């Protein structure tokens, strides 16, 4: 009995998915006439159904708020919600029969095996039985595992170790850049000294615009690949990404060298070479910011990184990675590889070798 009720209810749920418009078109409204055969399911909402003697329905029948009078053959299940079923003496129902909130009038000789349930006490167990059949098994018990956050000391020493690793890598990189590209580094540092605000603004705009441009290029390149035009866009994306990353590193080393020059002046180490001051300043800058981030209850690491990185990136952008000065000065010749600048130290050393009279004449001239 339990399996039968569940089967009937599942049939009801299946009939809810029937397309009623096509069924009603074939059934000529709500009447299946004599000698007519419906090879489909029938579902009606708020209407009565009559299957005349000699008519055949080869499918399931579901009525919601309507009555059914069966005098022909129904080769399927019949389910009525809130309606009455009348089976005349010539009615033949080959499937299951269920009445939910209605009554049955059975005039057949053999009798119709039909299950009736009210919407009260008799109907509720049907859903509970169905729920019990599909109730998932209880999940296995998982032992409680206490996850403890790392202690403040562990976080501190872990952050210090990470900052030390980054410091070592960037210091070696700064030493190499200052050794190979000293003039480029000086050009970028000059832009920072002369136009720090402009460098910072340009750096922030570059940090925002380049990633957006990279995303647009990736989407465009993917579209070009889909339409079989080619993969030319992806090398451009790769080169732009590498250039952006190189500019950020160059800008950070530029700011590190400025910090190194300041430290050398404070520590009376003015005679140190450019690679040494660049490595020293980059290491101090990187480790100092990393130490702030590793120390509990201290903040400002992200803000300092953004400000310092933006100024350095802006200087690298304005000077095209140190290949030209910014702002331009009168002695700059863009067609030459190096700008034509005056060196005050050399001029003063030459003037000191001349007699005093000649120096006075040069100054007056």
Query: Does the pLDDT at position 208 exceed 50?
Result: yes
Report which of 324, 343, 322, 347 is spatially closest to residue 334, judged by C-alpha positions: 324
Query: Does the pLDDT at position 353 exceed 80?
Result: no
Cβ atoms of 107 and 89 closer than 8 Å: yes
The pLDDT score that the predictor gives to residue 162 is 81
What is the pairing mode between strands 73-74 and 56-57?
A: parallel
Least confident window among 32-46, 151-165, 241-255, 350-364: 350-364
The pLDDT score that the predictor gives to residue 354 is 53
Cα distance between residue 123 and residue 101, in whole Å = 9
Cα distance between residue 84 and residue 263, in whole Å = 98
Dig out the tokens for 252 from the structure. Answer: 């950070």
Percentage of the chain beyond pLDDT 70 is 68
The pLDDT score that the predictor gives to residue 22 is 38
Query: Does the pLDDT at position 287 exceed 80?
Result: yes
The pLDDT score that the predictor gives to residue 76 is 87
**What number is the average pLDDT over the span 62-76?**
88
Provide the pLDDT confidence category of residue 21 given band limits of 50, 70 and 90: very low
The pLDDT score that the predictor gives to residue 69 is 92
Long-range Cβ pairs for the range 33-36 (8 Å, 24+): 34/72
Query: Does the pLDDT at position 55 exceed 90?
Result: yes
The pLDDT score that the predictor gives to residue 96 is 84
3-state secondary structure of 189: helix
**What number is the average pLDDT over the span 213-239?**
74
pLDDT in tens, 97-117: 888 778 888 888 888 878 776
Cα distance between residue 265 and residue 83, in whole Å = 99
Instruction: Tell me the average pLDDT of the chain.
Output: 75
Query: Would you list the domain boundaries of the chain?
Result: 2-130, 153-359
The pLDDT score that the predictor gives to residue 270 is 66
């Amino acid at each position: 009995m339990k399996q039968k009720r569940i089967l009937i209810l599942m049939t009801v749920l299946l009939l809810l998915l029937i397309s009623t418009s096509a069924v009603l078109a074939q059934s000529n409204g709500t009447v299946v006439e004599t000698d007519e055969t419906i090879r489909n399911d029938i579902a009606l909402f708020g209407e009565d159904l009559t299957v005349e003697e000699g008519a055949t329905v080869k499918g399931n029948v579901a009525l919601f708020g309507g009555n059914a009078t069966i005098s022909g053959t129904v080769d399927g299940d019949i389910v009525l919600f809130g309606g009455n079923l009348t089976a005349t003496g010539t009615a033949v129902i080959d499937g299951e029969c269920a009445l939910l909130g209605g009554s049955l009038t059975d005039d057949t000789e053999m009798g119709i095996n039909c299950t009736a349930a009210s919407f009260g006490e008799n109907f509720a167990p049907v859903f509970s039985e169905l729920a019990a059949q599909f109730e998932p098994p209880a999940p296995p018990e998982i032992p409680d595992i206490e996850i403890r956050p790392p202690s403040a000391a562990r976080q501190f020493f872990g952050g210090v170790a990470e900052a030390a690793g980054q410091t070592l890598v960037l210091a070696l990189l700064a030493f190499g850049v200052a050794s190979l590209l000293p003039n480029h580094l000086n050009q970028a540092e000059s832009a920072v000294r002369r136009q720090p605000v402009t460098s910072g603004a340009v750096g922030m705009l570059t940090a925002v615009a380049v990633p957006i441009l990279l995303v647009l290029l990736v989407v465009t390149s993917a579209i070009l690949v889909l339409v079989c035009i080619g993969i030319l866009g992806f090398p451009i994306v790769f080169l732009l990404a590498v250039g952006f990353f190189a500019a950020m590193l160059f800008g950070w080393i530029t700011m590190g060298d400025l910090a190194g020059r300041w430290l050398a002046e404070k520590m009376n180490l003015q005679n140190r070479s450019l690679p040494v001051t660049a490595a020293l300043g980059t290491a101090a800058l990187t480790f100092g910011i990393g130490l702030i981030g590793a120390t509990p209850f201290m903040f400002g690491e992200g803000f300092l990184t953004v400000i310092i990185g933006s100024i350095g990136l802006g200087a690298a952008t304005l000077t095209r990675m140190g290949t030209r000065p910014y702002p331009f000065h009168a002695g700059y010749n863009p067609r030459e590889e190096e700008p034509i600048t005056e060196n005050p130290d050399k001029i003063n050393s030459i003037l000191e070798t001349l007699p005093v009279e000649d120096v006075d004449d040069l100054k007056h001239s």
